[in-house]
Structure 1
C-alpha cells in the first residue's frame, strides 16, 4: 500500500517531534493563561498600544473564532486575535498579542524574510495542493517526469516552511523586547510570555522538519520506482 510502505519510517521522527511540539504549546499556553498580568491589560489593549506606539494607528484589531488562531493579515493590514487573547489579561494572551504586533512591524518595515514569504504564498499553496497528486499519478503509471514535477513542487512547500522560521522567531524577539522595554511585563511575567512564544515557535520548527521529511520520502519513493 502506498501510504503504508517502508518509506513511512522517514516520517516517524518528524511525526514524534510534531506531536511533542503540539503538546508543548498546549500545556505551556494553558499554564500561563492562568497567570494574570499585574498591569491588567487585555491582549487587545496591549496590541493597540504597541501598534499606536509604532505609528500603525490605521491597523484595526478584530476578533477571530477559535483558539490560537491569532494572526496578522498583511494583505488586509488587519490584526485578528482569538476571543481568549483579545479579552484575556493573562501573560499568555499578552505574549501572543505582542507576537502578532511583531508581524505588523515586520510588514511596515518590509522585513526581507516576510516579503519573500508573502511573495511565494501563491506558489506554496499551489505546490501543496498539486505536488502529491502529480507525484501519485507518476508513481502509479511509472512516469518519471511526473515524479520529478511532484518533487520540485513539494520543494516549494519546504522552502516556504524554512522561510517562515526567521519570520516567526523575529516576531517573537520583537514582542519580548517591546513588552519588557515598555514595562508591560517584567520578571516572572516576562519569563512566562517568553516560554509561550518559544513553545509556539517549536510548532513551526516541527512543520519545517515534517516538510523536509516528506520531501525525502518522495525522493526515496521515486528512486525505488526507478530501480
Structure 2
C-alpha cells in the first residue's frame, strides 16, 4: 500500500504506507468505525465509489508488482475471510469448495483431487458430502478458509474472522489460519479490535491512521 488514504465525507479514515512481505501477517488495530474494513474493501475492489458513496481514495495498492487500482474484484486475486463463514447452505461442503476452484483447473478428477486435498489438510477428510449445517463452528471456519485458499489468491485479508468463536476455538482456528498463510507465502493483512489476535499473529501491529 503506497500512501493509501481513504476519506469519507472529508474525514480521514485511513492513511497508511506499508509493504507486507510473502508469508508475513500484519495486524491493523483500531476501534469500530476507524476505517479498517473500508481499507479491506478498497483492496478487494468492493469499496463503493462515486459522489453518492462519499469515499475519496488516494494512493496505490500493488500486488506482485501489479497495480490493483481499477481492476475488477475477480481479477485482483485477493482472498478475504470474514467473521461469518458465509458457506452456501444449498451446497455440500465439497460443493462449497468446488465453487472457489479456478476455471483453469479442468476435469472432474483433478477438481475432486483439489477438494479432497484441501479437506485433508484441514483435518476434515471425508467431509465432502456433508451438509454445512451439520458442522461445528470450528469445522465451518476451516471450510471457509480452505474455500478462500482454493481460489489461489496472491494475498489474504482477514476481517475479524475469529470474533464469533469462543476462546478455546479461537486459539485453534487462529493457529490454523496463520499457519496456512505462512505455509503458502501469502502476504496477509488482518483487521481486528482484539489485542490477542495481534499478539497471536506475532507480526507488526499498525494503526489505520
TM-score range, shorter chain: under 0.3
Instruction: Name which one, 1 or 2, has greater alpha-carbon Rg.
Output: 1
Which structure has the higher relative contact order (CA within 8 Å, separation 6+)? 2
TM-score by length of 2: 0.28
TM-score by length of 1: 0.26
User: Which one has a larger percent helix, Structure 1 or Structure 2?
Assistant: 1
